[in-house]
């Protein structure tokens, strides 16, 4: 089935709406010195625990060079720790340092606050509908 120009326009309109809501176009998020990409990397390292850059790259589909620069920046800043893999000397495992966990918590709390603020005036029933639609978007687009 061919996608109509109307559908393309509606999807692009939603994308523009949503990116403006989440601050995707801002250089930094939540009044922090971190970009959305950097915050997402911190989220993935926190979620995965001891992980590799390849695992992060595969999860968030980020350019390898860009990811590498952020990992180096975080390593130099003491936000993450890199340790050589016991299975493969070419691979480094990444984990958050205490400093990194504090930064992640601050960003995560700010994100929670922004979501709560976004839907603060929305009825609980409508929030349930919203979440179901979000889950449907993920399911449909992930096929």
What are the tens digits of pLDDT across the range 24-50?
666 777 889 998 899 999 999 999 988
Report if residue 125 sits inside a domain: no
Report if residue 129 sits inside a domain: no
Do residues 97 and 80 lie in contact, with contact meaning Cβ atoms separated by under 8 Å? yes
pTM, rounded to two decimals: 0.84
- The dihedral built from the CA positions of residue 133, 128, 47 and 36, taken in this order, carries a sign that is positive
Report if residue 132 sits inside a domain: no
Report if residue 49 sits inside a domain: yes
Report if residue 123 sits inside a domain: no
User: What is the pLDDT at residue 24?
Assistant: 65
User: What is the pLDDT at residue 25?
Assistant: 65
Q: Tell me the pLDDT band of 68, cut-offs 50, 70 and 90.
A: very high
Report if residue 127 sits inside a domain: no
Q: Region 75-88: what's the mean pLDDT?
A: 92
Q: Is the pLDDT of residue 65 over 70?
A: yes
| Domain boundaries, position 100 | 26-110
Report if residue 120 sits inside a domain: no
Q: Which residues of 77-98 are buried (b: 16+ CB within 10 A; e: fewer)?
A: eebbbeeeeeeeeeebbbbbee
User: What is the pLDDT at residue 105?
Assistant: 97
Tokens representing 52?
């590799």
Report if residue 65 sits inside a domain: yes
Structural domain count of the chain: 1
In whole angstroms, give the CA distance from residue 118 to residue 22. 10
* Average pLDDT of every residue of the chain: 91
User: What is the pLDDT at residue 91?
Assistant: 87
- Report the CATH number that the domain containing residue 38 is assigned in CATH: 1.10.10.10
pLDDT tens, position by position, 109-136? 999 998 999 899 999 999 999 999 999 9
């Amino acid at each position: 089935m061919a996608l109509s120009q109307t559908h393309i326009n509606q999807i692009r309109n939603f994308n523009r709406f949503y990116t403006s809501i989440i601050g995707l176009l801002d250089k930094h998020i939540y009044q922090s010195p971190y970009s959305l990409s950097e915050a997402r990397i911190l989220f993935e390292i926190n979620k995965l625990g001891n992980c590799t850059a390849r695992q992060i790259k595969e999860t968030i589909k980020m350019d390898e060079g860009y990811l590498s620069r952020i990992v180096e920046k975080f390593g130099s800043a003491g936000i993450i720790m890199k340790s050589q893999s016991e299975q493969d000397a070419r691979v480094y495992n990444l984990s958050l340092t205490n400093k990194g966990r504090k930064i992640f918590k601050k960003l995560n709390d700010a994100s929670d606050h922004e979501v709560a603020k976004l839907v603060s005036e929305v009825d609980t029933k409508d929030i349930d509908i919203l979440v179901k639609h979000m889950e449907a978007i993920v399911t449909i687009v992930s096929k």
